[in-house]
Structure 1
Amino acid sequence: MKFLIDAQLPVRLSYLLKSMGHDAIHTKELALKNATPDTEINAISIREQRIVITKDSDFWDSFYVNQEPYKLLLVTTGNISNKELESLFIKNLGQVVDLLEQHSLIEMSRDSVIVHQ
């Protein structure tokens, strides 16, 4: 699966996803790095069919209003250490990938994975 990880999440999440066999890029790898506007992130997501992983609720709004980005994984853990975040992804990634094959909007909290669409 192809992912685009937004600025609020650590670059090491990209490395973790790559190590698990996925195609992942972080906004730090883009031309404007973490200053890349949401509109450009959405455009890249659609063009490359990448699932945006973010904590930014603006993408939630954009998805409901404009059906952008291509697909969205909204992380709603609040403040969490990088180690806890990685553990959460390791624990839930199989389920998240399965759900994203059928759905376009998934939310992952500390204790659940929720399908919204």
Structure 2
Amino acid sequence: MRILLDAQLPRSLVRPLEQVGCDVLHTLDLHDGNLSADNMISSIDDIAVRIVFCKDADVVRSHLLRGTPARLLLVATGNIGNQDLTALLLRSAGAEPVA
């Protein structure tokens, strides 16, 4: 699974997802880092066939109205610790958290 993590998700999620075989980029890895525009994130997804994991309502609107990014996982958890968030996303990626 190829994933792009949006700026609103912690970079600490990259390693656990990589450990279960995912190819993961975080917006911090992009040229403009966390300042990358939503349309840049969407174009990376569409060109590189990545699933965007995000909390950003603007990205959701773009997905619904324009179909970009083509693949989107909306993270709508409210306040949740990074350990629980990691476990949730690993399950979403089809893997179980490493104990």
If the length of structure 1 is used for normalisation, what is the TM-score?
0.77
Q: Which amino acid aligns with 1:86?
A: T
| Structure possessing the higher relative contact order (Cα contacts under 8 Å, 6 or more residues apart) | 2
Count of residues in Structure 1 that have an aligned counterpart in Structure 2: 95
Instruction: Tell me how far apart the structure 1 counterparts of residues 91 and 49 of structure 2 sit (CA, whole Å).
Output: 24
* Residue deviations 1:5-46 (CA, integer Å, cap 9, x gap): 000001111111111101010000000000000000001110
Q: Which residue of 1 aligns with 2:12?
A: 12
Kindly indicate which of the two structures has a greater share of residues assigned to strand: 1
Structure 1 residues 39, 92: closer, same or farther in 2, change over 3 A? Answer: closer
Q: Cα deviations across residues 39-72 of structure 1 (Å, max 9, x unaligned)?
A: 0000111010110000111111101110000200
Identity %: 40
CA RMSD in angstroms comes to: 1.3
CA distance in 2, matches of 1:36, 1:5: 12
CA distance in 2, matches of 1:12, 1:45: 20
* Correspondence list, 1:4-83, <5 A: 4-83=4-83
Query: Does the C-alpha gap of structure 1 residues 72 and 92 become closer, same or farther in structure 2, counting only changes over 3 Å?
Result: closer
Gaps of 5+ in 1: 96-117
Q: What is the deviation of 1:76?
A: 0.5
Provide runs of 4+ in structure 1 moved above 4 Å: none
CA distance in 1, matches of 2:14, 2:38: 18
Distance in structure 2 (CA, Å) of the matches to 1:6 and 1:89: 13
